[in-house]
């Protein structure tokens, strides 16, 4: 059900925009690839934060989520007491909710393929935008979710495939080797 609701909200954001036409539909900015990709990633970031808070409230109603601008932390009686199970449950549920957003990936890839602008400058601007989204997403995720196999993970597991698609589309358009994609991801 959340999957369908999120998909409908995404299509609405693409084609109709917000209530009363503000914000404007994302498709209105299809002529500007940086704005287009930025609006989609911004919408995805906002949706991830909203869905994450909802799922956390459903999984553990006693968890206290600090929604302040600095960080999101949980009380000791909340998620930190049962990290492994709740991390798995949260990731599983969010994965199912967000799995229907392939449409955004397809639209982004086709838009980037059409772009005639200076490709190196565009790639640099999109790289900075993706890095900003990843850093702000990192700050919105509980610390225990950032530890993967003993290492720090900058990318959220749900956003990484989306970012990888954007980077892959850039490589495809520019005819760049796959090793450059890997360098770009590492630079983030």
Q: Where are the domains of the chain?
A: 2-187
Whether the pLDDT of residue 173 is over 60: the answer is: no
Whether the pLDDT of residue 9 is over 80: the answer is: yes
Look at residue 148 and give its three-state secondary structure.
strand
Contact 66, 157 (CB under 8 A): no
Percent of the chain beyond pLDDT 90?
0
Average pLDDT for 156-170? 58
Range name among 109-113, 132-136, 167-171 with the lowest pLDDT average = 167-171
Q: What is the pLDDT of residues 16-57, one digit of tens each?
A: 888 887 888 888 887 777 788 788 888 888 888 888 888 888
Rounded CA gap, 175 and 168, in Å?
10
Whether the pLDDT of residue 75 is over 70: the answer is: no
Contact 160, 186 (CB under 8 A): no
Inter-helix orientation angle 160-174/119-140, to 10°: 180
């Amino acid at each position: 059900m959340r999957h369908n609701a999120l998909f409908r909200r995404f299509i609405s954001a693409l084609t109709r925009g917000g209530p009363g036409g503000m914000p404007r539909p994302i498709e209105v900015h299809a002529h500007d690839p940086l704005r287009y990709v930025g609006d989609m990633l911004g919408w995805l970031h906002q949706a991830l934060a909203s869905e994450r808070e909802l799922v956390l409230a459903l999984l553990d109603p006693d968890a206290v989520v600090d929604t302040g601008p600095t960080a999101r932390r949980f009380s000791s009686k909340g998620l930190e007491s049962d990290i492994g199970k709740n991390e798995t449950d949260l990731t599983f549920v969010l994965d199912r909710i967000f799995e229907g957003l392939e449409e955004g990936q397809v639209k982004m890839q086709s838009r980037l393929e059409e772009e005639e602008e200076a490709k190196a400058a565009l790639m640099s601007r999109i790289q900075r935008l993706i890095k900003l989204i990843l850093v702000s997403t990192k700050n919105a995720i509980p610390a225990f979710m950032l530890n993967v196999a003993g290492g720090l993970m900058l990318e959220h597991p749900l956003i990484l495939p989306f970012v990888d698609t954007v980077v892959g589309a850039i490589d495809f358009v520019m005819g760049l080797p796959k090793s450059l994609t890997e360098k770009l991801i590492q630079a983030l």
